[in-house]
Amino acid sequence: MAGGAPRIFVSHLSGAAVFDPNGDQTGRVRDLVAMLRDQTGHVERSADGSWHRTAARRPPRLLGLVVELPTRRRIFLPMTRVTGIESGRVITTGVLNVRRFEQRPTERLVLGEMLDRRVRLADTGEEVTVLDVSIQPRPARREWEIDRVFIRKGRGKSGAFRRNKGETLVVDWSAVTGFALEEQGQGAENLLATFEQLRPADLANVLHHLSPKRRAEVASALHDDRLADVLEELPEDDQIEILGNLKEERAADVLEAMDPDDAADLLGELPEADMERLLTLMRPADAADVRRLMAYEERTAGGLMTTEPVVLRPDSTVADALARVRNADLSPALAAQVYVCRPPDETPTGKYLGTVHFQRLLRDPPFTLVGSILDDDLQTLAPDTALPAVAGFFATYDMVAAPVVDDRGSLLGAVTVDDVLDHMLPEDWRENEFHLAEEAPGSAGEVNGAGRT
């Protein structure tokens, strides 16, 4: 790499595409791996009066990148196999070892662990917050280093109506100390900013690979709705761990923001006393929906369904229906059709009359009454329909959602195809999705690669 290569701030590399020499994309950057160097550390007094050895004063060595492949497997890409970083893209030699990345005790994840840390200025001892760090190649040493730190002075909080006005500046790595110390209560604002555009499933992948401490800090910083979406994509153990680290009042708020069927599944894994306590803290209407779902066997239509499909009265118009399915909070499966019922409109509804598919809504004039364009020949599912029969229904009728109706003709909810798949796959499928096969072609020496021995 040329000696005059520009300095790169790592936040700009989050999500950057990784290409081989032929221009084919092989993955995306999810983090960077660095190693602190302590040969030049020194001893100083901490705020509580005790003495400790400071973090390394030599710039950390950048060992490589954590790259997420299209299969969502995370691998380690040594910097020795990076031939260029330009315009937000990473160019490699094309040689990849696809063994799953595992962080070593001596390594630091730059995005996951360094951003939002509180460190101190070496000359004054003033506490500052790390907003970003920059990397630069050192051709003479044939390696990359973290050379600068973008910091903010002061510890004021940011929020929807208040911005931190502390001074920001870029300093040399040697100007700050404290990166090697364990920090409790580390923030997550700047880390989350680097992952702002990620889909919930991808952000769940990020959280899954963080340490338990950092995972709790990031979850605490997420908005309730965002955390609810992410929880729905995490393995069961991670869900329980994160929920257990939240204050009970906030845990109840997050459960309210989750789809009722997912909230019911999660609560069903908790000890009964904890489950009841959280249900008591939830809004009565939300808690009632969840309790109703928990009354059904898990692998039945009633146990799989959501209680919040789009329900309209027969005198509603196509324009009304289109306005409802435009709701960005609806999943694509639930937005694919509306269910027409007699009052009341909330599940369990009055008499279920039929379904109107989204394609039909696009073909008819906006003033058309939905009651006149019903698909009333479509079979419905009884709440006790077993999972294999539910899957057969979806396969037979090429549906992405199906109405669940009781013996009185009331709509109870709707089952979506993603919930069917979720329960038909092995119980640990989310874990396996994050950790595919343990072994892959390539030798152990190859995975250790130059720069990570």
- 304 occurs within a structural domain: no
Do 210 and 262 lie in a common domain?
yes
Query: Domain with 374 in it: what CATH number?
Result: 3.10.580.10
Do 278 and 320 lie in a common domain?
no
- 195 occurs within a structural domain: no
Q: Which of 435, 290, 313 is closest to 369 using CA atoms?
A: 313
Amino acid at site 63: L
Number of H helices, E strands in the chain: 16, 20
**How far, CA to CA in Å, does 448 sit from each of 102, 254, 414?**
11, 41, 49
How many C-alpha atoms does 155 have within 13 Å on its Cβ side? 10
Do 165 and 288 lie in a common domain?
no
Do 213 and 270 lie in a common domain?
yes
91 and 83 in contact (C-beta within 8 Å)?
yes
| Number of independent structural domains in the chain | 3
| pLDDT at residue 1 in the model | 43
Reported pTM: 0.72
Q: Which of 108, 75, 73, 109 is closest to 92 using CA atoms?
A: 75
Domain finish residue from 188, 215, 245: 188
Do 178 and 206 lie in a common domain?
no
CA 139 to CA 358: how far, in whole Å? 59
| pLDDT at residue 56 in the model | 43
Q: 300 in helix, strand or coil?
A: strand
| pLDDT at residue 120 in the model | 92
Whole-number CA gyration radius for the chain: 26
| pLDDT at residue 96 in the model | 85
| pLDDT at residue 95 in the model | 84
Query: Domain with 262 in it: what CATH number?
Result: 1.25.60.10
Do 158 and 62 lie in a common domain?
yes
Per run of 10 residues, the mean pLDDT along the chain (length 453 residues) is 68 93 93 78 52 62 93 90 88 88 89 92 92 88 88 65 70 90 78 86 90 91 94 93 95 95 94 96 94 93 95 97 92 94 95 96 96 93 96 92 96 94 75 48 38 49
Helices (H), 295-416: 301-304, 318-325, 358-363, 387-397
- 349 occurs within a structural domain: yes
Do 233 and 106 lie in a common domain?
no
**How far, CA to CA in Å, does 97 sit from each of 24, 58, 69, 431?**
16, 30, 11, 21
Do 127 and 23 lie in a common domain?
yes
Do 248 and 102 lie in a common domain?
no
Residue ranges making up the domain that contains 56? 8-188
| pLDDT at residue 298 in the model | 87
Do 245 and 328 lie in a common domain?
no
- 300 occurs within a structural domain: no
28 and 18 in contact (C-beta within 8 Å)?
yes
DSSP 114: I
Do 149 and 219 lie in a common domain?
no
Do 72 and 143 lie in a common domain?
yes
- 301 occurs within a structural domain: no
- 193 occurs within a structural domain: no
| pLDDT at residue 6 in the model | 74
Enclosing H/E stretch for 73:
none
Dump strand ranges (E) for 38-95. Answer: 43-45, 51-53, 58-68, 74-78, 82-86, 89-92
CA-based torsion, 418, 422, 425, 430: positive or negative: positive
- 437 occurs within a structural domain: no
Dihedral Cα 106, 111, 117, 122, nearest 10 deg:
70
- 261 occurs within a structural domain: yes
